[in-house]
């Protein structure tokens, strides 16, 4: 079997990993290579997978646990996309609240699959607003244990990618980059923007040519780590909606604005709330990664009588409360002959991380 390059892209919830996955895949395919993608979450019914599949690329999903706690699931997913897509390159996106990736994923892969994989440097994506706030000693609205995970992700990274560079003025972005370099001197620091395309080609070139992956192991307190994940309610749901002719874009935007308003009023930290609303071949994507001013949409689901809504929410609250908010909000939208059928709905609080492997040394190949 041929050697396949693996690019791991970590980073906290809302950093923009899925958008980067597609932009990177598009560029790599433009260079004539075949690409497969792997998504990961604590539960199935992922918005990310749905979006990526719309772009006609092979996607495998590891759900029910993170890569590190389901190492065999990751291996199976890699074998699947290698076979079905004949992939030259695999880009994998771990769960956003996952850390200790160098010890639990990168090192085991380097040791156990050295003849099958070229493992690229571990890249960690960081939202610039959250990053600056946390480096200033604040919590960016997060629970302290969630902020701990954010920092640990940066600590173990080979490449720190400051995402959404278009949100900052040039001088502010330069200052932030210097601040990150000072705090994490052993990591390479790069800036990217999925909106403008800034820095993506440079990053793709970097991770496509290097194999010095996992050069650092973080010291991780698993009690704090477990608490940081458990403070978030995780909800994944798929809903089928029927009506007479409906403007699905207006429906989706009103729904997301309602969710965001409620979470803001409760002062509940939002890791992300994502939707994809599909009507036939058309679809709209909605996303909020904090307060209401981060709400954004792209695409269009048009007008029709049937739609399928995939919803993922990661919000700092009890899962039962989160589920009730989602159900109640959906019910309030069922007017003007709209009816909703919940196909699946899973709401949970993640259990304690229990990695399959955890290396205490850096593997040298």
Domain positions in the chain: 4-228, 233-348
- Measured CA to CA, the distance from residue 225 to residue 217 in angstroms comes to 15
- Measured CA to CA, the distance from residue 365 to residue 363 in angstroms comes to 7
Mean pLDDT of 310-330: 97
Instruction: Identify whether the C-beta of residue 208 lies closer than 8 Å to the C-beta of residue 28.
Output: yes
- Measured CA to CA, the distance from residue 346 to residue 40 in angstroms comes to 15
Strand pairing category for 282-288 and 270-279:
antiparallel
Mean pLDDT of 165-182: 97
Helix and strand numbers, DSSP H then E, in the chain: 12, 14
Residue 365 has pLDDT above 80, yes or no: no
pLDDT tens sequence across 180-190? 999 999 999 99
Q: How many CA atoms lie within 13 A of 12 on its CB side?
A: 30
233-348 has which fold?
A: Alpha-Beta Plaits (3.30.70)
Q: What is the mean pLDDT of the chain?
A: 95
Mean pLDDT of 93-104: 97
Place of tokens 């990736």: 101
Mean pLDDT of 252-259: 98
> How far is C-alpha 40 from the chain's CA centre?
8
What is 218-256 written as a DSSP string?
----HHHHHHHHHTSEEEEEEEEEEEEEEEHHHHHHHHH
Cβ neighbours around 359 below 10 Å, total: 18
Residue 314 has pLDDT above 70, yes or no: yes
- Measured CA to CA, the distance from residue 187 to residue 177 in angstroms comes to 11
Instruction: Select from 3.60.9.10, 3.40.50.300, 3.40.50.970, 3.30.70.370 the CATH code of 4-228.
Output: 3.40.50.300
The pLDDT value recorded for residue 306 is 97
The pLDDT value recorded for residue 1 is 60
DSSP 106: I
pLDDT tens sequence across 10-32? 999 999 998 999 999 999 999 99
DSSP 363: -
pLDDT tens sequence across 32-68? 999 999 999 887 788 999 999 888 899 999 998 999 9
Burial bucket for residue 262 (CB in 10 Å: 0-12, 13-18, 19+): middle
> pTM for this structure?
0.96
Q: Do domains 4-228 and 233-348 have the same CATH topology?
A: no
The pLDDT value recorded for residue 246 is 95
- What are the start-end ranges of the H helices in 158-316? 170-183, 200-209, 222-230, 248-265
The pLDDT value recorded for residue 336 is 77
Percent with pLDDT over 90 in the chain: 93
Angle at 49 between CA 84 and CA 347, to 5 degrees: 130
Six token digits for residue 339: 């009816």
Instruction: Identify whether the C-beta of residue 110 lies closer than 8 Å to the C-beta of residue 119.
Output: yes
Mean pLDDT of 71-95: 96
Instruction: Identify whether the C-beta of residue 61 lies closer than 8 Å to the C-beta of residue 77.
Output: yes
Residue 169 has pLDDT above 70, yes or no: yes
pLDDT band of 292, cuts 50, 70, 90: very high
């Amino acid at each position: 079997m041929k050697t396949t390059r693996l690019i791991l892209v970590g980073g906290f919830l809302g950093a923009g990993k899925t958008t980067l996955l597609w932009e990177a895949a598009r560029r790599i395919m433009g260079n004539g290579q075949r690409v497969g993608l792997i998504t990961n979450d604590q539960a199935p019914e992922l918005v990310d997978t749905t979006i990526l599949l719309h772009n006609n690329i092979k996607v495998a999903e590891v759900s029910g646990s993170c890569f590190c706690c389901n190492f065999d699931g990751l291996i199976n997913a890699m074998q699947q996309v290698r076979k079905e897509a004949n992939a030259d390159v695999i880009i994998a996106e771990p769960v956003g609240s996952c850390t200790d990736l160098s010890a639990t994923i990168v090192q085991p892969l380097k040791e156990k699959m050295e003849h099958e994989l070229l493992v690229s440097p571990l890249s960690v994506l960081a939202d610039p607003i959250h990053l600056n706030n946390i480096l200033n000693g604040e919590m960016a609205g997060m629970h302290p244990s969630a902020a701990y995970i954010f920092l640990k992700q940066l600590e173990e990274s080979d490449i720190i990618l400051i995402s959404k560079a278009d949100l900052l003025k040039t001088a502010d972005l330069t200052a932030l980059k210097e601040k990150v370099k000072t705090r994490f001197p052993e990591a390479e620091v790069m800036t990217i923007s999925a909106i403008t395309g800034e820095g993506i080609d440079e990053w793709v070139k970097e991770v496509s040519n290097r194999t010095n992956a996992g050069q650092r192991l973080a010291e991780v307190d698993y009690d704090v780590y477990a608490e940081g994940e458990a403070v978030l309610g995780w909800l994944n749901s798929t809903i089928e909606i029927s009506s007479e002719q409906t403007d699905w874009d207006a429906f989706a935007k009103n729904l997301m604005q309602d969710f965001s308003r409620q979470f803001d009023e409760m002062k509940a930290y939002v890791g992300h709330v994502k939707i994809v609303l599909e009507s036939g071949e058309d679809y709209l994507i909605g996303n909020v990664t904090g307060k209401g001013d981060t709400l954004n949409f792209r695409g269009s689901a048009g007008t029709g009588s049937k739609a399928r809504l995939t919803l993922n929410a990661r919000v700092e609250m009890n899962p039962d409360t989160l589920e009730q908010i989602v159900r109640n909000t959906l019910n309030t939208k069922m007017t003007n002959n709209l009816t909703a059928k919940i196909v699946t709905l899973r709401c949970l609080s993640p259990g304690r991380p229990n990695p399959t492997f955890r290396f205490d040394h850096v593997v040298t190949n």
